[in-house]
Chains A and B, each alone.
Chain A
Amino acid sequence: MRDTPLIDRAVRMLARILRLYPQAFRDAFAADMLLTFRDQCRAKYAKSGAVGVIGLWLITVLNVIWEAGREHTDSLARLGALAWMLGGALWVLIHLPINIGWLPIPIFALLLLIFGLACLLAQVALYARPITLIGFILTGLGQTSILAGYCAALFGLWDQTGVPSLVGTGLQCAGLLMLGLSMRYPNGPRTAWQ
């Protein structure tokens, strides 16, 4: 079927905007999306003429820009959860009663945790709650307990019994387990609040 130049141009311009999506998404769906958009344009042109096609194009472009941002945030949130898990695992490692004796590990763990936290907060801002909420809370509680225990010991407020550190490490491990379980299903269908 031969289309009007307006429809051809609308599809070509949308094809450029689809480059905003992550590469993997484009590889999987871009060609199909353009076919679907061409079908939409044909139907709109038959019903409302050129004005209808221009209106459809504008609405589609805004929607595609928004959804491409969401796709990037999804990828980032997954990466963030992985960084959070890895940072948390290293954090547990350095608080075990063994001397691993390599100074950059705590710094590396901290950087991973900060990056993971930033990614998860971006997810919270966008979707109202992260899929990894329970793991996020447990690991946060675990790290706070460990830090509180160390600070207390440092200022002589508490005998260094190791109890806060032990509780913190336990919470941290539980949090990591929950994060691992929730990573099993990171891209489920969005619920109504999303």
Chain B
Amino acid sequence: MPEPDELLPLSPIVYHMLLALFDGEKHGYGIMKMVEDDTKGQMSIPLGTLYGSIKRMLAAGLIAETGERPDPDSDDERRRYYEITAFGQQVLRAETRRLSQQVALAEAKRVLG
């Protein structure tokens, strides 16, 4: 497994997907909706991009598929749920720290006036 810093910087899509899963496991549409809500509609992830990212995040060990379903009776059994892994949380923290440092630098230079 690589060090968390080796994966930085994350793309905005991967970062927001990790943030969406930080709250708890979700299926594909749940991730999509959460990212859209979190960004107040500024970012919407198209279907192909979402699943391409999911595939790469699974391969990188950032997320994992969960065996459990929140509501097995009313849900389609083909639906897959994903959760953030411990490594994914480390990467998310590392990226958040990196972004915070950049914002702090911009504030120190009074970029926003």
Residues of A within 8 A of B (CB): 25, 28-29, 31-33, 35-37, 39-40, 59-60, 63-68, 70-71, 185, 187-192, 194
Give the residue among A29, A31, A63, A194 with the most B Cβ atoms within 10 A: A29
- Contact, CB under 8 Å: B14 / A28: no
- Contact, CB under 8 Å: A29 / B29: no
Which of chain B's residues have a CB closer than 8 A to the CB of A194?
Answer: 11
Which of chain A's residues have a CB closer than 8 A to the CB of B56?
Answer: 187-190
Whether B78 is near chain A, meaning CB under 8 Å from some CB there, is: yes
Which of chain A's residues have a CB closer than 8 A to the CB of B9?
Answer: 191-192
| A19 CA to B110 CA, complexed, in Å | 51
Other-chain contact of B50, A28, A36, A185, A189 (Cβ < 8 Å)? A36
Q: Mark B40-80, 1 if CB is under 8 A from A, else 0.
A: 00000011111111111101101000000000000010111
- Contact, CB under 8 Å: B51 / A32: yes
Which of chain A's residues have a CB closer than 8 A to the CB of B29?
Answer: 35-36, 39-40
- Contact, CB under 8 Å: A36 / B28: yes
- Contact, CB under 8 Å: B48 / A187: no
Which of chain A's residues have a CB closer than 8 A to the CB of B24?
Answer: none
User: By DSSP majority rule, is chain B's interface helix, strand, loop, or mixed?
Assistant: helix
- Contact, CB under 8 Å: B48 / A60: yes
| A68 CA to B9 CA, complexed, in Å | 24
| A185 CA to B2 CA, complexed, in Å | 8
Which of chain B's residues have a CB closer than 8 A to the CB of A63?
Answer: 46-49
Nearest chain B CB to A60 CB, angstrom units: 5
Nearest chain A CB to B17 CB, angstrom units: 9
- Contact, CB under 8 Å: A188 / B28: no
Other-chain contact of A185, B32, B47, B60 (Cβ < 8 Å)? B60
Q: Can you spell out 20 A-B residue pairs with CB atoms less than 8 angstroms apart?
A: A25-B51, A29-B54, A31-B78, A32-B27, A32-B80, A35-B28, A35-B78, A36-B28, A60-B47, A63-B48, A65-B48, A71-B52, A188-B2, A188-B7, A188-B56, A189-B7, A190-B14, A190-B56, A192-B11, A194-B11
| A29 CA to B79 CA, complexed, in Å | 9
